Structure 1
């Protein structure tokens, strides 16, 4: 059971850390000063979640690894984040679509996680829920603004949705690790979130005059360490300091 819990916490931490890294790449490059600060704040929220989760994962593992070692000294195939969060920033619409899809999932996820029998995960969820609510509101407002804006902004937003839609299916996958922990009252069954996620996405798309793609083939593999070509480049930058100067602390 300890190994399953460790693996589960680790994938949640990886999701948060990788998305935080991606959003951090916008620092100094966002379209407006306000959005530069806004994206940086969302990135810091995810990094804060990652730190709490990595620290707890290290405690559960019991092998002396801390947050720095788990985040910055693991290899590509050892990461179990979903493929959605590692996708490149692209243009601003792609970044917003990625954040919107993820936040629409994570808000109900953290709400349900507050009832976990694992007290530490429940405590992390209580704080993360408030952050996810802001992340969803922020990204949804931008989806509507771009979708219901100019002809070009709507086209870019729709293109971003079509590009990233195949990566959303993985959010709802439940492997044996998840199934066992759900049965124990520790984990959240992702399938229980699908209807709420689709309702949220559909409502925002309606306001944004955007079309929801049809269900179809979905990209998968991130949970088992099979990542896209972009991931290695991301890790090279994210892990440089700790690998070049061993012993540094987050």
Structure 2
């Protein structure tokens, strides 16, 4: 996808609304997606699954900061960001599951590790606060650019989910930028630790921009990741320059999350996330 057309939830028109029952009032609730008349194609479902998995695993990581952040305000901020991202995951997974008659819970709790399609960067341990901010800076800039382009998706539901998510990711990006500036241009110790964090995060950046056969198949319903790289590099370089930090020059990690090949960390996340649902199948509360 090489062009972008500005959309909002109010401007999708009858085609998107009839496909997904989206109105400004219901704001793309997963239950509305689940009862939509039109199902996504297999390729679009697989694409939505990727985006949902990225958001779901990142939400799990961010939620671990609750009660552990360096100040109370950050407990609240990171918790709210985690909830936002979990909401994005619910919408994308509900839409993906609609193609296979599965619910968001089916996809979250009843898939095995090699069935997840999340990027390696979102499954990395939180590390110290600097690492989490470095990861969040990279991911939120990437997601902001991605969702901006997805506003022009030829799939109305993907476009609508992106429109809602974009408003929240804009805040996530600003939050990460402000902390990167504060830590990078702060004390000698905070500068060193923030630069070290970037060095640890950077091997996982390239995977976000890999194209593959699914990207070719999904066409204008999705976004070619490689098309986002130049804008990403420019935004990151600008932030790091102001923060007196430098863009790392380190080898990339091989990556393989889109193929279901993950680091050892994902298994631990899933064990914690899935244990209750698997121990008490069908339980509600």
TM-score > 0.5, shorter chain as reference: yes
Provide the C-alpha distance between the structure 2 equivalents of 1:212 and 1:77, rounded to a whole number of angstroms.
32
Native 8 Å contact 2:130 2:193 kept in 1: yes
Matches within 5 A, 1:1-250: 2-61=41-100, 64-182=101-219, 185-214=220-249, 216-248=251-283
Task: Provide the secondary structure at the position in 2 that maps to 1:30.
Answer: coil
Provide the C-alpha distance between the structure 1 equivalents of 2:145 and 2:252, rounded to a whole number of angstroms.
24
Deviation at 1:218, TM superposition (A): 3.7
Task: Tell me the alpha carbon deviations over residues 107-152 of structure 1, each in whole angstroms, 9 at most, x when there is no partner.
Answer: 0110110100100000001011111111100001101100101111
Task: Tell me the alpha carbon deviations over residues 192-235 of structure 1, each in whole angstroms, 9 at most, x when there is no partner.
Answer: 11011001100010011001112643431111111111111111
Provide the C-alpha distance between the structure 1 equivalents of 2:126 and 2:187, rounded to a whole number of angstroms.
21
Native 8 Å contact 1:68 1:249 kept in 2: no
Task: Tell me the alpha carbon deviations over residues 171-200 of structure 1, each in whole angstroms, 9 at most, x when there is no partner.
Answer: 001110011212xx1011111110110011
Native 8 Å contact 2:130 2:194 kept in 1: yes
Task: Tell me the alpha carbon deviations over residues 52-76 of structure 1, each in whole angstroms, 9 at most, x when there is no partner.
Answer: 1111111122xx2101010111000
Native 8 Å contact 1:5 1:60 kept in 2: no
Native 8 Å contact 1:178 1:189 kept in 2: yes
Gaps of 5+ in 2: 1-39
Alpha-carbon RMSD:
1.3
Native 8 Å contact 2:204 2:252 kept in 1: no
Provide the C-alpha distance between the structure 1 equivalents of 2:283 and 2:146, rounded to a whole number of angstroms.
33
Task: Provide the secondary structure at the position in 1 that maps to 2:67.
Answer: coil
Task: Provide the secondary structure at the position in 2 that maps to 1:90.
Answer: coil
Task: Provide the secondary structure at the position in 1 that maps to 2:248.
Answer: coil
Runs of 4+ deviating beyond 2 Å: 214-219
Provide the C-alpha distance between the structure 2 equivalents of 1:5 and 1:36, rounded to a whole number of angstroms.
35
Provide the C-alpha distance between the structure 1 equivalents of 2:230 and 2:75, rounded to a whole number of angstroms.
32
Q: 1:147 to 1:50 in 2, by over 3 A?
A: same
